[in-house]
A and B are shown apart, each in its own frame.
Chain A
Amino acid sequence: MSLPGQLSVLFPLASGLGASSPLAAVLPASDSALERLPLTLRGLLTGWLPASWQWLANSLIAIVVLIVAFASLFALLTLAERKILGRVQNRPGPNRAPLPFLNLRTYGLAQPVADGVKMLTKEDIVPDGADRVLHFLAPIALLAFSILTLAVIPYGRLLVALDLDASVLFFFAAGAATELAVFMAGWASRNKYSLLAAMRALAQLISYELPLLLSVVPVVLMAGSLSTSVIVERQGEWWLGFLPRWYVFTPWGLAGFLVFFVASLAESNRSPFDLPEAESELIAGHLTEYSGFKYALFFMAEYFGMCALCGMAVTLFLGGWQAPLPFLSFIPSYLWFAGKLLALLGVFMWIRASFPRLRIDQLTRLAWKFLVPLALINLGTTAFWSLTADWAGLLQPLRWLIAAGLIAGPFLLLGRNLSKGLGPRTYRYAA
């Protein structure tokens, strides 16, 4: 693999690589035409423009492609989620909506269209006395911040809309701003329950922001960079020539990935942490006073956020767009990324189908008493891992053993502490 060659030329794509001559310099000759396809297409579209205009055109194309791709992914995900939930509960899920004008049932493939039409034709209700401006702005702000987070994820080799030096920082800054929009929605609704739910949501989101960030720090530490592209490149080597060196395959990476995964479940308001919109207890939380298109926007933002967090997990821990085995590198990098992203989204749905919702005290306890200490200890483990990078020979297994112990010991102790007094429940009256 000619990866070291690439490391030196990680220039931002947005700064105008559209023309064919710089492209050829950046992409290694071994890359297939399929691998180059997105960039070639973009070159065809914008190559005729003067160089000073190309970056603008390229950015616009990136924005349009991202929004279109993730909007259609959103539509498919809603369907896939309902199908998977259905199958887990031994029922077929939505399978009736016919294709428009054709009256053809394609296993419910037209369900997103039907849902969209339903959402768009609903009345848009704004409560009397609500802050109309904020009520209107909240879904837009939420969606905008969610889309911003999508910009810095590398979707393939050299396929990143915005290649910043501190893109990890950018990602989490934009992601944290969605919390503002949630509170905006709750406050602007002029509804006590919305406001209460929004405050609870804030408590949850801020609690989980901490383990989310702490679990990322080790990756930044080991990669030595805040740039997502560099982090992915660093995971592109092989152990013994064939084992991928993704960060998830190290003790600290595995622990970091698990903490990141749990925290991202909570950050994206997904079950079992979907308290912000707990239908059974808070009507629909901060979404109570929203209907029609605004409600759809909230859902779109939730799915965008989910996709962004999954994409970030793939980028940070699962090797980004790298192939898992060297001989599989002929498959284009963006397909590998898509596959990993979809697999992770599938796990999100699987978890949603499996676990009941947590209580608010259980939720915050999990964050503060378990995830945060674990992430902090993981940081120390990573420091150990980083300091012992030159251990070789027999010391190598020792290094693995120590690191694994540094993860497993606290996990067991913290876990025991977390579930203390919560032993198997005995039911006196129920069978």
Chain B
Amino acid sequence: MLGTGLLQGLAVTAKNLVGSFHDPERYVTMEYPEVKTKLPENYRNFPFLVHDDPKDPLGSLRCVACTICETECPPQCIYIVMDRDEKGKALKRPKVFDIDISVCMSCQICVEVCPFDAIKMDQHYEIAETNRFQGLLLSREQLSKSNAYYHQLHPTEAAAVDALLAEQKAKQAAAKAAKAAPAAKPPAPAAPAANPPPPPAPSAEAPKPPTPPAP
């Protein structure tokens, strides 16, 4: 009959009108600036630098200014200058570390190539700036975020990274101990406690444990 379809349509809209007041299933709008969506853990947009000591954000950066990420970056948005002392000796930390996030394409390649787990992907998306070029060129100071912040963004990934770093640190300590052991050979028998580390030491002879030994 003419009109029954119209009534059905009206019923649908009326259900939505009433339902939007009491049914959160229907009323899904989030009022953005006040309420924010919970981002998925794997969400990423721009890189940041991880530091370990919140009291010294620039001094405790994991970055050693090796410039691997700078060379790998496809749009070349990273610019690194190694810090050096007055004799010109490299200090293994960046003096300048800039990322131009107006150029960055969020590919995460810098994160994947970093041997020190020093650069990770941030989830901060409110990046509007009033000046066009300087505002989006992030410096070392702006990029440095604590490990706790990293844990907050990507909990599982950060836990895995922490475990890996702890393992590497242990290995490094063992290697150091093994190196120290032959130098102090005479007292070695007197200290059997240092004995367990040496067996793995010969295999890990190389003094740079983070990178896997090149084949």
Residues of A within 8 A of B (CB): 84, 87-92, 95, 350-351, 353-355, 370, 411-412, 414-416, 418-419
Stretch from B5-13, B144-152, B187-195 that touches the partner: B5-13
**B142 beta carbon closer than 8 Å to chain A:** no
How far is the CB of B148 from the nearest CB of chain A, in Å?
35
Q: Using Cβ atoms and an 8 Å threshold, which residues of chain A touch B128?
A: none
Residues of B within 8 A of A (CB): 1-3, 6, 9-10, 12-14, 16-17, 19-21, 26-29, 31
Q: Using Cβ atoms and an 8 Å threshold, which residues of chain A touch B2?
A: 370, 411-412, 414-416, 418-419
Q: Using Cβ atoms and an 8 Å threshold, which residues of chain A touch B21?
A: 87
Q: Are B3 and A355 in contact (CB under 8 A)?
A: no
How far is the CB of B6 from the nearest CB of chain A, in Å?
7
How far is the CB of A240 from the nearest CB of chain B, in Å?
29
Known: A350-B13, A412-B1. 12 other contacts (CB 8 A): A84-B17, A87-B16, A87-B20, A88-B20, A89-B16, A90-B16, A350-B17, A354-B13, A355-B9, A415-B1, A415-B3, A419-B2
Q: Are A92 and B17 in contact (CB under 8 A)?
A: no
In the complex, A412→B4 CA distance in Å? 12
Main secondary structure of the interface of A (DSSP, over half): helix
In the complex, A370→B17 CA distance in Å? 31
Enumerate 14 A-B pairs (CB-CB under 8 Å) in ascending A order: A87-B21, A88-B16, A88-B17, A89-B16, A90-B16, A90-B19, A90-B20, A91-B29, A92-B27, A350-B10, A350-B14, A354-B10, A411-B2, A412-B1
Q: Are B13 and A88 in contact (CB under 8 A)?
A: yes
Name the residue on B nearest A353 (C-beta): B13
How far is the CB of B19 from the nearest CB of chain A, in Å?
8
In the complex, A412→B27 CA distance in Å? 39
In the complex, A45→B194 CA distance in Å? 107
Q: Using Cβ atoms and an 8 Å threshold, which residues of chain A touch B31?
A: 92, 95
Q: Are A90 and B9 in contact (CB under 8 A)?
A: no
Q: Using Cβ atoms and an 8 Å threshold, which residues of chain B touch A350?
A: 10, 13-14, 17
In the complex, A84→B9 CA distance in Å? 16
Name the residue on B nearest A419 (C-beta): B2
In the complex, A88→B29 CA distance in Å? 13
Residue in A87, A353, A370 whose Cβ sees the most chain B Cβ within 10 Å: A87
